[in-house]
Chains A and B, each alone.
Chain A
């Protein structure tokens, strides 16, 4: 990350980026690709929020064991986000409810938002990138 700091063009502009995750983890490659883009973005010192709605909340499930389908378990990477200064993780309450899940089922600490709160958070972003 220090290499990237030296490459800073000096403009110092910080934008609010939201990464919106709406897909379950293994059925498509969106979840893994989205996570990799977030980690890249962290190198540019931007104001990053990660949001999980719809089937995207399944990305944060505890107890994932992907050996049987022979794919990488990237769920532990969400716990490393803090080390990249990505600490704003938001989950939609209604999406948890529709899947029989609670905050305790998730692998990381998150802020659970109501629909109006989520809508306001989206509205205040400079950039929203959807996966």
Chain B
């Protein structure tokens, strides 16, 4: 399954809920304000790094760039563009958007 999160982990519980429910081997794509969680020094970074052991973590590049965070992405997080977003949706049999 592909999980998509779009809200800041400092404001909403959606990232935490997603990481709790995501099963081993699933993919998690961070978009919009959720990308901050995948940056160095963020309070949520430890959760992302721990989750990366069992899950594939992706972050949308244009959303990182629009927030001045392109150079701060955590090791182990894969940055994708819009084409990569489409590929992720196509590769997975189902997806869940954590609104």
Q: Is B67 within 8 A of A64, CB to CB?
A: yes
Q: Does A65 contact B (CB under 8 A)?
A: yes
* Chain A: interface size category: 20 to 34
Contact with A along B1-42 (1 / 0, CB 8 A): 000001110110000000000000000000011001001111
Residues of A within 8 A of B (CB): 23-28, 54-55, 58, 61-69, 71, 73, 75, 98-101, 105
Contact of B32 among A27, A58, A67 (CB under 8 A): A27
From the candidates A26, A67, A98, name the one contacting B67 in the complex (CB within 8 A).
A26
Closest A residue to B41 by beta carbon equals A100
Complex A-B: 15 CB contacts under 8 Å: A23-B11, A24-B36, A25-B66, A27-B6, A55-B10, A58-B36, A58-B67, A63-B70, A63-B71, A65-B68, A68-B62, A75-B68, A99-B39, A100-B72, A105-B68
Whether, in the assembled complex, B77 has its beta carbon less than 8 Å from a beta carbon of chain A, the answer is: no
Give the residues in chain A near B41, CB-CB below 8 Å.
99-101
The answer to whether B65 has its CB under 8 Å from any CB of chain A is: yes
- Rounded to whole angstroms, the CA-CA distance of A100 and B39 in the bound complex is 8
Interface residues of B (CB under 8 A from A): 6-8, 10-11, 32-33, 36, 39-43, 45, 61-63, 65-72
Docked CA distance A105–B72 (Å) = 11
A115 to chain B, nearest CB (A): 16
Q: Which 6 pairs show the lowest CB-CB distances between chains A and B?
A: A100-B41, A68-B62, A61-B68, A27-B33, A66-B66, A63-B68
